[in-house]
C-alpha cells in the first residue's frame, strides 16, 4: 500500500514512524514533512493546505491511502476532494469536520442531543453578546467560532475582559473565524484528552492523554499548541472512560450520522473532568499534537489497518493493543515561542538518542547540509516510555539534557500532576 501522510509536525512524525513500521505499507510519502520525517518517508514539497496539489499528487503517484494530520485541510474539504478523485483517506469530510471548524455548530449539536458541555450562548453580533455577558457575569469564556490556530479562546476573569474579547473578535482579530462568537460557562476540574477512532457508526476508544497547554512551568504564561503530554491519564479511570463513551462520544457519532454528516476519522474530545462527571470542552477532528506522540509510543498493534478500517466503515470488529507502560513527551521549542522566535539555529546531539524507550519526534526542523536546523516554534518532541509516568519523565528529560541546542527551551515539569499523585 502506498501511503501519504499530510502535515509537518511532531504529530505527523509520530504517525509516519508508526505507519512506516506496518508490513502493509510498501512506500510512505509525507507532504510536506520535516527534517525528522525524512528518515521515515519521502517528503514531497506540497503544503498541507494545497488541496489541488495534494489531490494531483495522489492521482499521479497512485496513492492508495491518505492520512490527514492537521485540521485546516480537513475543514477545507481535502478528504471530500480525494474521495471524488477515487483516493481513500483517513479523516472526516468537511461537513463532519464542522465539529472542530465551528464551535457554535458543536454546541448546538450537544444541546440538541443532551451531550454534557458548558452552558453557552452563540452570537453573530456584538450587542447581544455583550448583553449575555452582562447577564451572566464573570468569570466566563469567550471564543471565536472558527479555526484560530488555538488562539481563539479567551478565559475572561472579569466582565471587562470578556467585553474586550467580544470587541476584538468582532473587530476582525481572527478574520473569518470570528464571524460568530460563542460565550460559555467556565468549567472547573481537571482536563484530559480522549481519543476514539470512528468509522461513521462505530467507535474504538484509544488511550487517553493529558497535555500541558501553558508555556511555563507550573502551568503559567500564555497558551501554546502544547508543551508536553503523557498517557495514560490518571484522571481518566476506566469508569470515567466508560462515561465519556456513553454520554459524549457515542451520542455524538449517532447524532452526526442522523444529521447526515457521518463522522469518520479520529475524534479528539477535549474534556473537563468535573465533580458532576466528564464535560465536553470542545472537539477536534484529528489527533492532538503532542498527544499523538505518546499514543503512538504506547500502541503495540499495527496502526495502519485500524486507520483503513475507520475509513472503510469496518471498525466494529477491531481491537488495538496497548503497552502497559506510560509514555511522556517533552516539547522543545525555539526561545520566544509562542511569540516571535528566530529560525535557522543548529540542533546537535540527536545522534543515537532514539531507541527502544526513547523517540525524538521532529516538528519544526529541516535538514541543511547534514545539520538539523530549527524552522518552527515547536521543534522537537522528546518522547519516552517507562513503567510509570515518573520513569518515562526521567528518561525523557535525560534525553533532553543530551540535546545541544542553546536557542531552544522546554518546560521542566511535564507530567507533574501524574507524578505527584
- Contact residues: ligand AMP, CB under 6 A: 118, 141, 150, 153, 184, 186-187, 191, 213, 270, 272, 281-282
**Side-chain-facing half-sphere of 146: CA atoms under 13 Å:** 15
Shortest separation between residue 72's beta carbon and ligand GLY, angstroms: 13
Smaller CB separation from ligand GLY, 117 or 345: 117
Per-residue binding string, ligand GLY, 126-165, x by CB under 6 A, is: ----------------------------------------
Q: Which residues, including other chains, have CB under 8 Å from residue 297's CB and lie 6 or more apart?
A: 14, 323, 327, 329, 359, 383, 384, 385
Shortest separation between residue 11's beta carbon and ligand GLY, angstroms: 7
Footprint of ligand GLY on 186-215 (CB under 6 A): 211
Smaller CB separation from ligand GLY, 63 or 326: 326
Contact with ligand GLY (CB under 6 A) among 93, 117, 284, 345? 284
Footprint of ligand GLY on 165-184 (CB under 6 A): none
Smaller CB separation from ligand GLY, 189 or 349: 189
Please answer whether residues 203 and 315 qualify as being in contact, where contact means their C-beta atoms are separated by less than 8 angstroms.
yes
Residue ranges in 171-249 assigned as alpha helix (H): 238-243
Binds 282: which of ligand GLY, ligand AMP, none (CB < 5-8 Å by kind): ligand AMP
Smaller CB separation from ligand GLY, 163 or 266: 266
Shortest separation between residue 149's beta carbon and ligand AMP, angstroms: 9
Shortest separation between residue 402's beta carbon and ligand GLY, angstroms: 25
Q: Which residues, including other chains, have CB under 8 Å from residue 404's CB and lie 6 or more apart?
A: 347, 348, 349
Footprint of ligand GLY on 220-249 (CB under 6 A): 225-226
Q: Which stretch binds ligand GLY (CB under 6 A): 36-44, 127-135, 170-178, 288-296?
A: 288-296
Please answer whether residues 372 and 296 qualify as being in contact, where contact means their C-beta atoms are separated by less than 8 angstroms.
no
Binds 211: which of ligand AMP, ligand GLY, none (CB < 5-8 Å by kind): ligand GLY
Shortest separation between residue 224's beta carbon and ligand GLY, angstroms: 9
Asked if residue 289 binds ligand GLY (CB under 6 A), the reply is yes
Q: Which residues, including other chains, have CB under 8 Å from residue 65's CB and lie 6 or more apart?
A: 1, 2, 3, 4, 87, 88, 89, 90, 304, 307, 308, 311
Please state the φ and ψ torsions of residue 274, each to the nearest 5 degrees: -100, 175
Please answer whether residues 150 and 184 qualify as being in contact, where contact means their C-beta atoms are separated by less than 8 angstroms.
no
Dihedral angle sign, alpha carbons of residues 163, 167, 173, 178? positive
State the Cα angle at 147 between 145 and 151, rounded to 5°.
90
Shortest separation between residue 290's beta carbon and ligand GLY, angstroms: 6
Footprint of ligand GLY on 73-102 (CB under 6 A): none
Q: Which residues, including other chains, have CB under 8 Å from residue 146's CB and lie 6 or more apart?
A: 101, 102, 103, 152, 174, 176, 177, 178, 179, 180
Shortest separation between residue 226's beta carbon and ligand AMP, angstroms: 9
Smaller CB separation from ligand AMP, 216 or 270: 270
Binds 376: which of ligand AMP, ligand GLY, none (CB < 5-8 Å by kind): none
Please answer whether residues 289 and 225 qualify as being in contact, where contact means their C-beta atoms are separated by less than 8 angstroms.
yes
Smaller CB separation from ligand GLY, 289 or 413: 289
Placement of cell 457521518 in the chain: 262
Q: Coil, strand, or helix at residue 179?
A: coil
Closest CA to 381 of 236, 224, 253: 224
Distance of CA 138 to the CA centre of its chain: 29
Please answer whether residues 314 and 199 qualify as being in contact, where contact means their C-beta atoms are separated by less than 8 angstroms.
yes
Partners of 264 in the β-ladder: 199
Binds 118: which of ligand GLY, ligand AMP, none (CB < 5-8 Å by kind): ligand AMP
Shortest separation between residue 123's beta carbon and ligand AMP, angstroms: 16
Shortest separation between residue 173's beta carbon and ligand AMP, angstroms: 15
Binds 297: which of ligand AMP, ligand GLY, none (CB < 5-8 Å by kind): none
Instruction: Give the C-alpha distances (Å, rounded to integers) separating 200 from 85, 217, 230, 315.
Output: 20, 40, 28, 9
- The residue ranges that bind ligand GLY (CB under 6 A) are 211, 225-226, 284, 288-289, 291
Amino acid at each position: 500500500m502506498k501511503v501519504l501522510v499530510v502535515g509537518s509536525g511532531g504529530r505527523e512524525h509520530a504517525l509516519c514512524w508508526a505507519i512506516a513500521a506496518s508490513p502493509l505499507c510498501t512506500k510512505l510519502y509525507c507532504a510536506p514533512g520535516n527534517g525528522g520525517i525524512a528518515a521515515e518517508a519521502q517528503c514531497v514539497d506540497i503544503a498541507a493546505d494545497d488541496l489541488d496539489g495534494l489531490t494531483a499528487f495522489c492521482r499521479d503517484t497512485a496513492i492508495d491511502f491518505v492520512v490527514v494530520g492537521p485540521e485546516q485541510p480537513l475543514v477545507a474539504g481535502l478528504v471530500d476532494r480525494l474521495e471524488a478523485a477515487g483516493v481513500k483517506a483517513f479523516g472526516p469530510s468537511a461537513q463532519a469536520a464542522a465539529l472542530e471548524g465551528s464551535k457554535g455548530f458543536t454546541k448546538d449539536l450537544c444541546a440538541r442531543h443532551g451531550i454534557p458541555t458548558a452552558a453557552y450562548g452563540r452570537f453573530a453580533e456584538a450587542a447581544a453578546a455583550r448583553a449575555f455577558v452582562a447577564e451572566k457575569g464573570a468569570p466566563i469564556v469567550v471564543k471565536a467560532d472558527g479555526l484560530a490556530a488555538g488562539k481563539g479562546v479567551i478565559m475572561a476573569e472579569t466582565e471587562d475582559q470578556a467585553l474586550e474579547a467580544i470587541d476584538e473578535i468582532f473587530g476582525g482579530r481572527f478574520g473569518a473565524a470570528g464571524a460568530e462568537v460563542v460565550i460559555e460557562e467556565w468549567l472547573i476540574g481537571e482536563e484530559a484528552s480522549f481519543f476514539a477512532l470512528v468509522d461513521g457508526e462505530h467507535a474504538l476508544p484509544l488511550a487517553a492523554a493529558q497535555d500541558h497547554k501553558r508555556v511555563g512551568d507550573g502551568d503559567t504564561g500564555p497558551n501554546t499548541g502544547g508543551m508536553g503530554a503523557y498517557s495514560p491519564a490518571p484522571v481518566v479511570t476506566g469508569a470515567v472512560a466508560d462515561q465519556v463513551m456513553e454520554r459524549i462520544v457515542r451520542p455524538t457519532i449517532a447524532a452526526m450520522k442522523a444529521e447526515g454528516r457521518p463522522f469518520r476519522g479520529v475524534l479528539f474530545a477535549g474534556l473537563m473532568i468535573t465533580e458532576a462527571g466528564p464535560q465536553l470542552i470542545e472537539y477536534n477532528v484529528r489527533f492532538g499534537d503532542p498527544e499523538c506522540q505518546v499514543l503512538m509510543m504506547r500502541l503495540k498493534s499495527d496502526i495502519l489497518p485500524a486507520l483503513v478500517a475507520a475509513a472503510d466503515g469496518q471498525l466494529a470488529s477491531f481491537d488495538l493493543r496497548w503497552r502497559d507502560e506510560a509514555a511522556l513527551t517533552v516539547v522543545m521549542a525555539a526561545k520566544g515561542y509562542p511569540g516571535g522566535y528566530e529560525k535557522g539555529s543548529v540542533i546537535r546531539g540527536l545522534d543515537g538518542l532514539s531507541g527502544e524507550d526513547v523517540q525524538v519526534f521532529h516538528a519544526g526542523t529541516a535538514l541543511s547540509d547534514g545539520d538539523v536546523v530549527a524552522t518552527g516554534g515547536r521543534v522537537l518532541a522528546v518522547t519516552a516510555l517507562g513503567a510509570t509516568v515518573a520513569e518515562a519523565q526521567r528518561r525523557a528529560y535525560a534525553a533532553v539534557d543530551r540535546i545541544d541546542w542553546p536557542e531552544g527551551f522546554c518546560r521542566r515539569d511535564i507530567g507533574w500532576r501524574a507524578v505527584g499523585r
